[in-house]
Homo-oligomer: A and B are copies of this chain.
């Protein structure tokens, strides 16, 4: 089953809006065996919309549009496509009724504005796709040759809800050959380079991708390994993904921290709970980013006590107890300072585990011995201390993000005694 996507809006052609709707729809459709063969964006212009839909129907016989349905938009999509299908428009009594209900439930009084009622105009012979998150109904329009256009709103929350609740079931009823799907599975690693990962995977005895494709996706969080299964039925795809993912996990070993979109901070919190330990953070160049990562996870409060942001050296000395001699002999960006910071925050907050980051995030402040990106990280688990010094690549924000991620990784390895 093939179809095309058409996203509608001047904002897309002026570049004010990034088209996240198209990517989301493409991913959801692929996961159900429906391949998007082309994506097009046009402006809020009836002739452009009609021409793009007509061409898409000629190529694939099926098109999903987003945008141009709401009360504040120019609402061009419905009449343009209705005309293309040779249909007149009528006011739908059920839609009028639901608009009235929503108007009242929001505590509004008086008449519904004319612009709102325009949403009740529906092409003759159309099916309505219910909108559980807004007022504009979606439309399914089909001709006598079985070619169809589905119109969704442009607001992502409304679009996603309507797709899942109404459009996807409608499409799956319409087609029969969705036996083969595109599914993917991601194994997340950190603290190991793409090339080293690749060497390890190639060195696996009898490694077989079983026809899946493998993509290496490096970023500040680490390297994600994404497996994709295509042209398989769902059960076979899932079985192969599970088997090959297990091989990848074996190859990457201690560098694996999660699957799919799992976050390393969540994995660290889980390890702390398992160990019955609480953590405190000491941050210089990251300035709170590591604390923010840990506390972004709901329920962090049982094992995350808090921390000290020691941006200025005075704070490192007075609040964390870093010794003046350490700062003088090794500098604030040194493994020695990081180790004293980790011990200091553990003591100051009464935590079992302390973790510290000190570094030069740039763009200024680098020296020949300690260039921008130099970061020292230490973790202290009840007096067992591990630390390292590294040079993080990227701009200021990326250096800070990589530093926080590396600190989380060090804590995880220390807790597991894999450091």
Using a CB–CB cutoff of 8 Å, the interface residues on chain A facing chain B are: 12-20, 22-30, 35-43, 48, 52, 55, 182, 184, 226, 228, 281, 283, 285-296, 298-301, 304-312, 314-315, 318-319, 348-350, 362-364, 396-397, 400
A362 proximity list for chain B (CB < 8 A): 298
Question: Is the beta-carbon distance between B311 and A308 smaller than 8 angstroms?
Answer: no
9 A-B pairs (CB sep. < 8 Å): A15-B22, A19-B23, A286-B292, A288-B289, A289-B292, A296-B400, A298-B363, A307-B311, A318-B350
Main secondary structure on A side of the interface with B? mixed
User: Across the two chains, which residue of chain B brings its CB closest to A18?
Assistant: B23
State the CA gap A285–B17 with chains docked (Å): 31
State the CA gap A314–B350 with chains docked (Å): 9
This protein's copies in its complex: 2
User: Across the two chains, which residue of chain B brings its CB closest to A182?
Assistant: B14
Known: A38-B52, A288-B289, A298-B363. 6 other contacts (CB 8 A): A19-B39, A22-B41, A38-B48, A292-B292, A299-B364, A312-B349
A36 proximity list for chain B (CB < 8 A): 13-15
Given A288-B288, A295-B311, A364-B298, are A23 and B17 neighbors across the interface (CB < 8 Å)? yes
A304 proximity list for chain B (CB < 8 A): 287, 311-312
A14 proximity list for chain B (CB < 8 A): 26-27, 30, 36, 182, 228
A392 to chain B, nearest CB (A): 15
Given A19-B23, A38-B42, are A307 and B288 neighbors across the interface (CB < 8 Å)? yes
